[in-house]
Amino acid sequence: MNNEILLKNLRNVPDFPIPGIQFKDVSTLFKNPECLRIIVDELYELYKDKGITKVVGIESRGFVAGAALALRLGAGFVMCRKVGKLPADVIQESYAKEYGIDTIEMHTDSLSPDDVVLIHDDLLATGGSMLAAYNLVQKFKPKKTYVNFLIELTIEGLNGRALFDDDIDITTLMKI
């Protein structure tokens, strides 16, 4: 899709969080009402006919568009958070990322087998956090699971999409 307005408003932060990483800062998209509207409208068009009952947003940037989309779809919103942030019983999954190891959690009552789930995050790079979230969601045995990112990095050597089986429906709004 690569909407020109979104691309124009996306901020690149060199050497963050460590030297050599070119961080794609989506906060510039979220603070711009036109960009936020475009994001939610484009996501809605992708998923309006899929029967989504829950949107799972990955901490923290996945919360913004994920919650807005859930509202628009008439679905519930579930937070997938870093360790120690959720107050009730949780399940967790650890994963490797470009610059370390991390763990994410979801409440044990987040989803049911009757749910059709969309997992949303801001960026697909190496794919580790989304694969961990996908694995968590699959423990609930939902009817169907979709995966979405605002941005997919197409930089040689990252190829996070390769972590996922071909039958997993993955969409992105921008490829850069």
Residues acting as catalytic residues:
61, 98
Q: What's the rounded Cα separation, in Å, for the pair 162 and 138?
A: 18
CB 65 within 8 A of CB 72: no
Task: Return the amino acid letter for 76.
Answer: G
Rounded CA-CA distance 18/71 in Å is 35
Task: Report the C-alpha gap between 169 and 165 in whole angstroms.
Answer: 9
